Chains A and B, each alone.
Chain A
Amino acid sequence: MNKLKLAAGSAMAAALFAAAPLALAQEQATIEASTGIDVTVHEGDFATIQQFTTPGGISVWLVEEQSIPIMALRMAWETGSATDPEGMEGLTDAVTYLMNEGAGEMDSLAFATRMEELNMGFSCGADSETTYCSANMLTDNANEAMEMIALALNEPRFDQEPFQRFQREELIGIRTRETNAGFLAGRARAQALMPDHPFSRIKTADSINALTTEMVAQRKDAIMAGDRLYVTAVGAMTPEELAPLLDEALAGLPATSDVEGIEDVALNDPLTAPVVVDLPQPQSLVTFTAPAMARDDDDFFPAYVLNYTFGGGGFESRLMKDLRVEKGLTYGIYTGLSTSDHLNLWTGGGQTKNESAADFIAGITAQMESIVAEGITEQELSDAKAYLTGSYPLSFDSNAKIASGLMSARLEDLGVDYFDRRNAMVEAVTLEDVNRIAAEYLQPSNFTFIVVGAPEGIEETADLPMPLLGQIDVDEAGDMEESNIDEASDAVRDPNR
C-alpha cells in the first residue's frame, strides 16, 4: 500500500477505487491457474510462441521471457482513421489521444501520476487501417499496471479538459504541417494518385472543431471491439498469470463492431512529369511512387529481395551507390515496399540541394532504366539474400521487437510459423523472378515523382489533377525502407538507415 499512499490528495479516492478490482483480478488468477488454460506451444526457430484463448475469449500470442522483469503488451484493432465519418477527420486520433488521459475516478493528472508511480507506460495510436495500444510494465507490479489498462479501456472519461487540449494541439499541427516537406509530399501524392479514396482525407480545422467528446466515446466503442482485436505479449509472465489480467481489461469490450470496410484503392495513372510543391528551404525532397503487389502475392518476395538491390539495402543499393557514393548528390536515398489490405505501393525518396534536383531525378530514372533493361546480377541477388536472411535474427533480440513482430504477423495473417518459413521464402527467389519483377514494376513511367522545396532545372512539371485536399502518410525519406536494417533503438540512431 505504500505506493497508494504516495498519491497526491486529489488522487487518493481514485487510488482506493483502483484497489478494489485488483483483488478481484488476483482471485481470478488463482481460479484459472488451478483450472488451467489450453495453450498451443509453437517451438519456433526464433521464439517459442504460446497461443491461447482466455476464458473471456481473448486470443493471445505470448512469448515468455524471464530474464528481465518486464512485459511488453501489444493490442491492435482492425479499424483505423480511414473510416472516420466524413467531416470528422481526426475522430480516431481523438480516441487514441484520450485513452491515457483519465479513467474511472482518476482525471488526467491522477491517471498520469499513477502510471508514473507504477513505472508503467500505456498509450494508443492509429494509422489509416489499424488502431494500436501498447503497454510496458514491470512484472513486479503487473497486476496494478494491468488494472490501470483495464480502467482505461473500460471506463475512459473523455474529459473536456484533455479533449480541448487535443483540439488545440491539432489546430497547431494543421498549421505547422504546411511547412513539413514529408507531409506536403504525401498530400500531393495522394492527390495525384487517389484523390477520392478515404486514405486521402485529411484533418482540417473544421473537422477538428466539429468533434465532441460524445462522438469520441461512440467511436471508441466502434473501434475497440472484441471481433477486431489482436493481442501479443512478451515478458516474464505465464499464460496462467496473464489470462485473467487480459480478461479484466479486454473481455468487457463490445463484442462486435459495425464499422464498414474500406474499398481497395484504384490508383490513378502515374503522372508523366514531376509535381513541384514550393517550400522555402535549401534542399528538395524528392519522392517517387509506383503501384506494387499485395503482401500475399507470389511476386512479393522477389520484389522484396529486388528492393534491397534497388534502393532498400542502404549502401548496398544501386541508388545509394550511384547518387550518394558516386555522385555526392545526397546524404541518403531509400526505397521500400509498403503493403496493406487496400493499398500496395513501391515508394522511394531522398533529399538533395535545390540546385541539383534535376540531376537527382535524372539519376534515379537512369537507375530504374538500367535495372529494367538489364536486371540485377547473380552476385547482387546472392548478396541481397545473404543480408536479408543473415540479419533476420536481429529482429528478435528484444521483448519490444518480438511483441511488435508477432503483432505484424497476426495483423497480416502470416501464420504462427511465418518466422520459421520466411528465410526459406527469401532463399527461393530466383534471378528470373527478380528480373521479371524489375521489368514490370520499376519502369520509370510507373512512378509519380513529387518534389518539395525550391528545385532548380526541372524543365517539365505536372500539375495536380485537383486542388490539394488529401493526404496519406508518406514516410520521411529516411524511413522508407523495410525496418530490418534500422536498429529500433534511439541509442544508436541514424534517421537515414
Chain B
Amino acid sequence: MKAFLAGGLAAASLGAGIAFADTSEAEWAPTTFELDNGMDVVVLPDNRAPVVTHMVWYKVGAVDEDPGKSGIAHLFEHVMFKETDDIGPEEFTTIVQRNGGQLNAFTSWDYTAYYERVAKTQLERMMELEAERMTDLIINDDPEGPFISERDVVKEERRQRIDNNPGVILQEQVMTALYRDHPYNITVIGKMEEVGALTPQDGLDFYNKWYTPSETILIVAGDITPEDVRTLAERTYGQIESANTEPPQRGWQDVQPLAETQLITHSDPKVRQPEWERWYLSTSFTQDREFAYALNVALDVLGGGRTSRLYQALVEDQKIANDASAGAWLSLHDTAPTVLSASPSDGVTLEALEEAYMAVVNDVLANGFTDEEVERSRNSLAASAIYQRDSQAGMANLYGRTLAVGGTVEDVMNYPDDIRRVTADDAIAALRRVLGEDKNYIEAHLLPEEEQAAEESQTDE
C-alpha cells in the first residue's frame, strides 16, 4: 500500500497520454460545493455499477518539507494508516477491507491523496474513517515502535523503486541538477539518510501544520447523487472544525533558468542498453495553460509514438535508434521538465544518436509542423478524454490532481475544446520557447559499466 508518485519515476507519466473529461456529452457534468469548514467537494456521476471511488486530497506534498526532512510527506502518508483515537493499531485497513473496500494512498511533490473504492452502501463508513484520521491520528513515539519500523519499510520502498534501477538513479541525479534551488530537486521518497532520521515528532509537526479540512478536496465518483454526497459529507467531514489559523504557505516557488548546460552520466553493471536524454525546463498546465497545451501537442507530433517525427526518422528510416520519444511532465504545479530521449541501435554511439536526434528537432524548429499532423494529434489528445470516462478511479484522480494544483473543474471540462484550438503555429512557437538554441539543458547518459570509462576519455563535457 501507500504508493507515491515520484513525479514520473516511470516514463509513462510523460505528457502525451494525458486525458481529460469529455465535453461531447452535454448532459454529463460534475457538481461542486464547499463545506462550511472549507473542504471542497466534487461529485462525478457514474451510474454503471453500484460502486463509488472516494478520495481525499490534501494540499501538501514533498515540496512542503523543511530542510533536512526530505521524505516526511510520504512517510507520514504511511503513518496515516496506523492508529487513531477510535481505530486501533493497524485496523484502518482491516475495517475498509472487511467492508469490501480497496484502499491506497499516494504522495507527490505537489499533493497527497488517500482513497477507498467500495460498494456505494459503504460510502458513509469510508467518510467516517477518513474524517477520523484527519483529526484524531495517534503517532506512536515508542523508539522501538511502529513509526520507526515504518521508516525501514520506506527505506525498502526506496531501494525497490529507485536504488535497484539504474535508469531511476540517473533520473534522480538529473532532477537534482535541473532544480538546484527548488524542492523538486529531491525525489518524493526522500534521501535515504534523511528518511532514516525522521522522528515521530516530525510526523506530529507535519500533521498539525498541514492536515486540516480547509486544505482538502473531497472527490466522490460513482453511483450517487450530489445531494446524497452533501448529506453524508456534512455528517462526517462537516463535523470537523477548521483551524482558525491562516493556511500555511506552500513550498512552491519560481524555478530559476538553468545557468549552464551539463552532462551527467551514470553507469551500472545492470545496464545492458544505453540511453540518451536531454532535460529542458518548460512550463506546466498550472503555470501557463495555453503554452502547456500547445507544447503538449508539439511534443506529441515530435515524439509521441510510432507515427511521430522522431520515431519515423530515427527508428524507421535511419534505424539508428531502438526507441525515440519526447514528452513533458506538464501536470506538475511548478515549471516542469520536457524530456527528449532515445536508445541507440547496436553499434551506434550516443554522439551519433544525439546528432541524428537533434537534426530532426532542428528541422522541426526551422520548418515547423504540417497542419495535418497537428490536427491528428490534437484530435487524438481530445478524444482520449472520452476513453478516460471508462475508468471511475481515473476520473476521480484526474479531477483531484487538477484541483490540487490550483486548476478548476472547468479546466478539465474544457480540455478537449482548448486542445482542439491549438494551431500548427502555436505548437511550433511553444516548442521553440522550450528547445531554442539559447536554452541550457541537462544531458544524461545511462551506460553499461565498461562504457563509461571509454566515454569519459572521448568527451570534454
Asked if B99 is an interface residue, CB under 8 A from chain A, the answer is: yes
Are B307 and A112 interface neighbours, CB within 8 A? yes
Residues of B near A315 (CB, < 8 A) are 1, 81, 90, 93-94, 97
A398-B391 contact in complex given A282-B164, A492-B106, C-beta closer than 8 Å: yes
Are A331 and B146 interface neighbours, CB within 8 A? no
Name A387's contact: one of B3, B98, B372, B376 (CB within 8 Å): B98
Are B159 and A69 interface neighbours, CB within 8 A? no
1/0 contact trace for B10-24 toward A, CB 8 Å?
001000000000001
State in angstroms the CA–CA spacing of A397 and B50 once bound together.
Answer: 8
Are A109 and B307 interface neighbours, CB within 8 A? yes
The stretch that binds B, out of A174-182, A207-215, A239-247, is A174-182
Q: Chain A residue with minimal CB distance to B381?
A: A119
State in angstroms the CA–CA spacing of A68 and B46 once bound together.
Answer: 10
Name A175's contact: one of B100, B272, B372 (CB within 8 Å): B272
Asked if B2 is an interface residue, CB under 8 A from chain A, the answer is: yes
Asked if B101 is an interface residue, CB under 8 A from chain A, the answer is: yes
Name B383's contact: one of A119, A283, A383 (CB within 8 Å): A119
1/0 contact trace for B256-291 toward A, CB 8 Å?
000000000000111111000000000000000000
Asked if A311 is an interface residue, CB under 8 A from chain B, the answer is: no
State in angstroms the CA–CA spacing of A179 and B46 once bound together.
Answer: 44
State in angstroms the CA–CA spacing of A46 and B146 once bound together.
Answer: 40
Q: Chain B residue with minimal CB distance to A400?
A: B390
A497: min CB distance to chain B, Å: 6
State in angstroms the CA–CA spacing of A55 and B447 once bound together.
Answer: 57
Asked if A399 is an interface residue, CB under 8 A from chain B, the answer is: yes
Residues of A near B359 (CB, < 8 A) are none
Residues of A near B272 (CB, < 8 A) are 172, 175-176, 178-179
Are A316 and B391 interface neighbours, CB within 8 A? no
A389: min CB distance to chain B, Å: 7
Are B164 and A283 interface neighbours, CB within 8 A? yes
Name A6's contact: one of B157, B345, B375, B397 (CB within 8 Å): B375
Asked if A417 is an interface residue, CB under 8 A from chain B, the answer is: no
Asked if B415 is an interface residue, CB under 8 A from chain A, the answer is: no
Asked if B160 is an interface residue, CB under 8 A from chain A, the answer is: yes
Q: Chain B CB within 10 Å — which of A108, A327, A397 has the most? A: A397
Asked if A443 is an interface residue, CB under 8 A from chain B, the answer is: no
Name A316's contact: one of B48, B93, B153 (CB within 8 Å): B93
Interface size class on chain A is: 35 or more
Interface residues in B141-168 by Cβ distance below 8 A to A read 146, 148-157, 159-160, 163-164
Asked if B8 is an interface residue, CB under 8 A from chain A, the answer is: no
Residues of A near B118 (CB, < 8 A) are 390-391, 394
State in angstroms the CA–CA spacing of A72 and B390 once bound together.
Answer: 10
A117: min CB distance to chain B, Å: 6
Are B100 and A70 interface neighbours, CB within 8 A? no
Are A329 and B152 interface neighbours, CB within 8 A? yes
Are A138 and B375 interface neighbours, CB within 8 A? no
State in angstroms the CA–CA spacing of A490 and B118 once bound together.
Answer: 18
Q: Chain B residue with minimal CB distance to A181?
A: B164
Are B102 and A398 interface neighbours, CB within 8 A? no
Asked if A160 is an interface residue, CB under 8 A from chain B, the answer is: no
Are B119 and A69 interface neighbours, CB within 8 A? no
Name B153's contact: one of A281, A313, A328, A389 (CB within 8 Å): A328
Residues of A near B394 (CB, < 8 A) are 489-492
B190: min CB distance to chain A, Å: 14
Are B372 and A6 interface neighbours, CB within 8 A? yes
Residues of B near A393 (CB, < 8 A) are 49-51, 100, 119
A459: min CB distance to chain B, Å: 23
Residues of B near A13 (CB, < 8 A) are none
Asked if B187 is an interface residue, CB under 8 A from chain A, the answer is: no
A316-B164 contact in complex given A175-B272, A280-B270, C-beta closer than 8 Å: no
1/0 contact trace for A431-448 toward B, CB 8 Å?
000000000000000000
Asked if A52 is an interface residue, CB under 8 A from chain B, the answer is: no
Are B397 and A489 interface neighbours, CB within 8 A? yes
State in angstroms the CA–CA spacing of A279 and B271 once bound together.
Answer: 12
Are A329 and B3 interface neighbours, CB within 8 A? no
Asked if A28 is an interface residue, CB under 8 A from chain B, the answer is: no
Residues of A near B48 (CB, < 8 A) are 65, 67, 397-398
Asked if A487 is an interface residue, CB under 8 A from chain B, the answer is: yes
Asked if B201 is an interface residue, CB under 8 A from chain A, the answer is: no
Are A383 and B390 interface neighbours, CB within 8 A? no
Using A327-B149, A331-B153, A398-B48 as known contacts, list a sample of 10 further A-B pairs with CB atoms less than 8 Å apart, ordered by residue number in A: A68-B389, A116-B307, A136-B387, A282-B163, A315-B97, A328-B148, A489-B393, A490-B12, A492-B397, A494-B3
- Mark B residues whose CB is within 8 Å of A: 1-3, 12, 24-25, 46-51, 81, 90, 93-94, 97-102, 104, 106, 115, 117-119, 122, 146, 148-157, 159-160, 163-164, 222, 268-273, 305-307, 312, 315-316, 319, 322, 345-346, 372, 375-377, 379-380, 383-384, 386-387, 389-394, 396-398
**CB-defined A-B contacts under 8 Å, sample of 12:** A70-B389, A178-B272, A324-B153, A328-B148, A351-B156, A351-B160, A391-B102, A394-B102, A491-B391, A493-B106, A494-B106, A497-B102
